[in-house]
Structure formats: C-alpha cells, structure tokens
Amino acid sequence: MDPHLKPYEKDFKRRYRLFQKQLSLLEEAEAGFDQFTRSYRSFGAHRQPDNSLVFKEWAPAAEALFLTGDFNGWDKFSHPYKKKEFGKWELHIPPKEDKSPAVAHNSKLKHKHPRPRKPRSLRIYESHVGIASPEGKIASYSNFTHNVLHICLVSSPFKCSLMSFLLFSTSRYGTPDELKELIDVAHSMGIIVLLDVVHSHASKNTEDGLNQFDGSDSCFFHGGQRGEHPLWDSRLFNYSSWEVLRFLLSNLRWWMEEYRFDGFRFDGITSMLYHHHGVGTGFSGDYSEYFGLQVDEDSLVYLMLANHILHTVYEDCITIAEDVSGMPTLCRPVQEGGCGFDYRLAMAIPDKWIQILKEFKDEDWDMGNIVHTLTNRRYGENCIAYAESHDQALVGDKSLAFWLMDKEMYTNMSTLIPMNPIIDRGIQLHKMIRLLTHGLGGEGYLNFMGNEFGHPEWLDFPRVGNNESYHYARRQFNLVDMDHLRYCQLYAFDRDMNRTEDKYGWLAAPPAFVSTKHEGDKVIAFERANVIFIFNFHPTNSYSSYRVGVGPSGKYKIKLDSDEIQYGGHGRLDHNTEFFTESVPFNDRSNSMQVQNIQIQKMRL
C-alpha cells in the first residue's frame, strides 16, 4: 500500500519478531495470554466462598507489607503480608465470628444487557462525568446515567444506530456499582462506552499512587532518568518488565470484564513510542523519524500485545490512539507489523480551526489549506475527526463558539431579538465548521460534551487561582431546553447532521473526492458516499448558479441545509428544488450540475 515504507522492512520484521517472542513467552510461562491477563483475579483483594479475604501484591524491593484501614483501627502492623517467591506477597484474613467478611463491602450489581456490536460509523460523545451537570459541583455517575445518557443518544434516530461516549473514571463520581449501572444502562440504549485509559505514564504521588510502591524507584517504572518524563513530571512504566506487563494488560481485561467497557482511547501514545517522548521534536512526516534507535520498541510491542489481546478476546472491542507524531501503521493490523489500533485521533484538525479563528480575517481563509488539513491522513488508517478539543476549552483559551461570538453569547443569543452580525456569523460558521469536519475529516467523528450546542463558557476546574470555584466546571445542558435561546438551534443542527450521516454512512465510506476548493469564491465542494457537500465560506458573496462536479449521474435533492430557520439560518433555499446532472465533465468528475442559490452562510464582522 505504501512503497515508501520498503526501506524500513527490517524494522517491521524486528518489531513483529519481538511481539511473537512475547506471545511465546506468555504461552510457556503463563499458559497463554488469556490466563496472564486475568491476573486481576488473583492480585489485589478477593473474597473467598467462606467470606475469608485474600490479598496479593507484587513488591519485589519491599522489606515488609501491611494492610491498614478502618477495619483494624488504622493499626499499621496488625495485618502483615507473608513474602512469597518472585517478589510476591500474600495476606489471608479469616471471616468474623458471624461469618461475615472482616472487611465489609457493598453488594455487587449484576449486568443485564449485552454489549452492542461495533458500529458501522463511529460517532463519539466525549464526556467528563464530573462536570456533566449545570450545577457547580462534582457530578456523579448516577447523574450521568439519568440525565446525560439520553443526550448522547439523541444524535441517532434508532437504537441500532450506535453511538459511543468516552469518559474518565474516578471514585469521586460515585461507587463502582454506580459506574457499572451507567454502562449497563448505556448498553440497553445501544450506546457503546469507551474508557480513556492512561498507560503512558503515572503520577509521582507516593501516598496513594504506584510510585515507590515497594520502596524502590523501579518497581513499576524504569529506574533513574529513563523513568522520569521531562515535561509532565510523572513516572514512566517499564514495559520490558514481566510483572508490569501483567499489571497493565490485566488492567485492560479488568475494565472489560468487571465493568464491561467496550474499548479504550489510549492517552499519550506519542510519549510511549519514542525515547525522546516527542519532547523538542517537530515531526515533519519524514519516515526516518518513525524508525531506528529513537523508537522505544518495548513500548511499541506492549501496544501491539494490548491490541492483539483485546481484539482476539473481544470481537467488537474498539481502540483509539492519541498520537501527534503520525507514526505509520499505527492503525494497521498487528499481523502486518502495525500496532493494531482501530482509529487514531486527527489532532491537527481542531488545532487548525483554532489557528484560523485566531489569526485570519474571514476573507483570508485559505480553502486549499483547510482541505489539506482535513484530508491529510494515511490511506487505510482510520481517523477520528473533531472540530474542537476539550483542551482548547480549558481556561486560558476558548471554545470555537467563544472565539466566534465571545461575550455576545451572554446578551444576544435570544430568539426574541434580531441577530446582530457577530451572532449571525458565529452561528452559521459554527455549523459549517462542524459539518465540514464531519464529512471530510475522517472515518469517525468526536464531539466534546456541550460543543454540539456552542457551550457559552470555557472549562476550568477548582484550583487556587480561582478560589477553588466550580462555576466553570460544569456543562449547562439546560440551555438547550430554552426555546427562546439560540443554543437549541445549534443543537438541532448537530442532531440532524448525525442523523443524516446515519442514513448515508459517509464516515464508513472511502475518503471524499474534493472537486472544488476555489480561493476566490471561497467555495469547497466534495463528494462522499453519493452525497454532494457544498460550502460557501465567502464573507459577502452568494451565487445564483454554481457548477459543481459530480460522479454518479442522476437527480439530487437537498437533505441537510445549514440555512434552515430551525438551525438559526435564514431559510433562503427551496427544498422542493431538484437538481439534475449533465454529461458535462467538470473539475475531474465525469458529470456536473448547476446548483442554484449558493447563499452566504455568514456575515462579515
């Protein structure tokens, strides 16, 4: 598929040999990867049939281990572990006199609904449970289950049209059983649930983290400088360690088995792939940057193992890589020498939109550059496109809606007053940016919670700098229910954009053919999944008749129009109009058609 990779054939073969060697070692020493990755069943805390408790840990450098908690009055020495071979430790605690467990535990929720099948088109609603409430507080799993899940589903008209949402997990949001309930209810609605998993680094915290777990600096991590991330001030796992592999791979199986997640978004992959962790490195796309001594092949083989095991055991598992380097074959099967991910995040796209809004006037937008950013991805490796990142909404920056409309959103979003030029421009561009990204940018689409309706505020967590305030650590979903505000119009467009994709399936179709990227007219036109997309980004010009190239001949009708009044537009297009192709080649397409009334979709500031 890519002849430019031929000079690096030896690298791929070596990587694959290392991967096969690890699999063979697992077979010899642990009776295969299935048993090895179920080590969460023996390590940690486990209740036996007689209600006794068995605790098992790996701490090779420790001199002694003790279990302490409220069950023993926080006595540090009353419950010592016994040392076993290979750096392992065990503790057995018999039940109380009434035969109840010595350490109490809540009841276990049973799962009721099966996992949904892997979707044809992946549309992700990225979520942060802790801010998923209009109130300034730490929101809970239960709040998400009862008040937010239906918002994730609204983009699809049928339950069989699957969506997913991406979340983070922490005990601050509730109990394990409440998280299990959330996932089970999501499955009942046909929603798949992905977890944002961080296996790229870990906190330096020694009080409740893994750092110096056994008293050394090299239990789970590399010792010395190699175990320190130079920018993140965090610890780096030693992926060549047998017990670290057991811990991380079993962690993935535990999330899948115990909580029944449907897959993972792997955080910080770039840091794992290279010894330099991407620090001070500007990836130009030269293939020599992805091979050779700078590649950390221990980490790379771990990712190959993780993907191989997950996709072997769970047929419909989805894995997504967060990588800024552009590593080739990251999303090709392991048997091809790839890493085995299903998708990678198209991280350049949200950066491009923010750069355009920050640095360029409307009339200076470069159509060719926008198209290049949206289409610049490796053929045969699926990408998740997104118009704005959750990082860009953090304090110190602004969301797309804020860059477009800023403080006007607090005073001029009412439908009871005429739109001023800033709100008009912002609403029209917000819709167009999302649809262009959705249609052209990848094989999946991601939206961060609130961005679908142009959330009016940035995101800021409680900290010393804001007096520990929760005011901006929230999502005001209540704005969508207010018919007199225009947020519901942006929301309605997002809903129908996803419903239209559900009908035609352009995310699952081959990449688009871009027939028009006219700098003077500021028009972009492309074809994907037998759908013709036409965008007019000109700040002042409408076109009464505009010729666009078309592949399949026939009759075309308007199926989605960002200028509809219900979406905050001006209702200038006649949806009864039918457009017929002509056998007139145009812009490298065999047919073309004259499209009437290509309207201005935004106003000059």
Query: What CATH number is given for 122-207+238-508 in this structure?
Result: 3.20.20.80
Q: In this structure, what are the phi and psi dihedrals at residue 57, rounded to the nearest 5 degrees? A: -135, 160
Asked whether this chain's domains 122-207+238-508 and 513-598 adopt the same fold, the reply is: no
Average predicted confidence (pLDDT) for the chain: 91
Q: How far is CA 29 from CA 33, 87, 219, 242, 404, in A?
A: 10, 16, 21, 10, 59
Tens digit of each residue's pLDDT (9 = 90 or more) over 237-256: 999 999 999 999 999 999 99
Tens digit of each residue's pLDDT (9 = 90 or more) over 190-199: 999 999 999 9
- Per mean pLDDT, which range of 16-25, 180-189, 468-477, 593-602 is the poorest? 593-602
Query: Residue 112: what pLDDT?
Result: 82
Query: Residue 159: what pLDDT?
Result: 29
Of the listed 267, 289, 397, 521, which one is catalytic?
A: 267
- Whether 157 shows a pLDDT value over 60: the answer reads no
In this predicted model, which residue has the larger pLDDT, 365 or 598? 365
Measured at the CA of 453, the angle between CA 448 and CA 454, to 5 degrees, comes to 80
Q: Are 384 and 445 in contact (CB under 8 A)?
A: yes
- Whether 165 shows a pLDDT value over 80: the answer reads no
Q: Has domain 39-93 been given CATH number 3.40.50.300? A: no
- Per mean pLDDT, which range of 96-110, 353-367, 554-568, 587-601 is the poorest? 96-110
Tens digit of each residue's pLDDT (9 = 90 or more) over 220-235: 999 999 999 999 999 9
Q: Which of 327, 321, 383 is closest to 350 using CA atoms?
A: 383
One CATH from 2.40.420.20, 1.10.3720.10, 2.40.50.140, 2.60.40.1180 for 513-598:
2.60.40.1180
Each domain of the chain, given as residue ranges in start order, spans 39-93, 122-207+238-508, 208-236, 513-598
Kindly tell me the number of DSSP H helices and DSSP E strands found in the chain.
Answer: 13, 19
Of the listed 181, 322, 323, 443, which one is catalytic?
A: 322
Q: Are 253 and 37 in contact (CB under 8 A)?
A: yes
Percentage of residues in the chain having pLDDT higher than 70: 95
316 is catalytic: no
Q: Which residues contact 547 (CB under 8 A, 6 or more apart)?
A: 586, 592, 593, 594, 595
- Whether 64 shows a pLDDT value over 50: the answer reads yes
Tens digit of each residue's pLDDT (9 = 90 or more) over 308-328: 999 999 999 999 999 999 999
Helices (H), 506-552: none
Quick one: average pLDDT of 325-340? Answer: 95
| 3-state SS, residue 212 | coil
| 3-state SS, residue 142 | helix
- Whether 332 shows a pLDDT value over 90: the answer reads yes
208 is catalytic: no
In this predicted model, which residue has the larger pLDDT, 549 or 459? 549
Query: Residue 158: what pLDDT?
Result: 29
Query: Residue 548: what pLDDT?
Result: 96
Element (H, E) at 534: strand 531-536
Tens digit of each residue's pLDDT (9 = 90 or more) over 258-311: 999 999 999 999 999 999 999 988 888 899 999 999 999 999 999 999 999 999
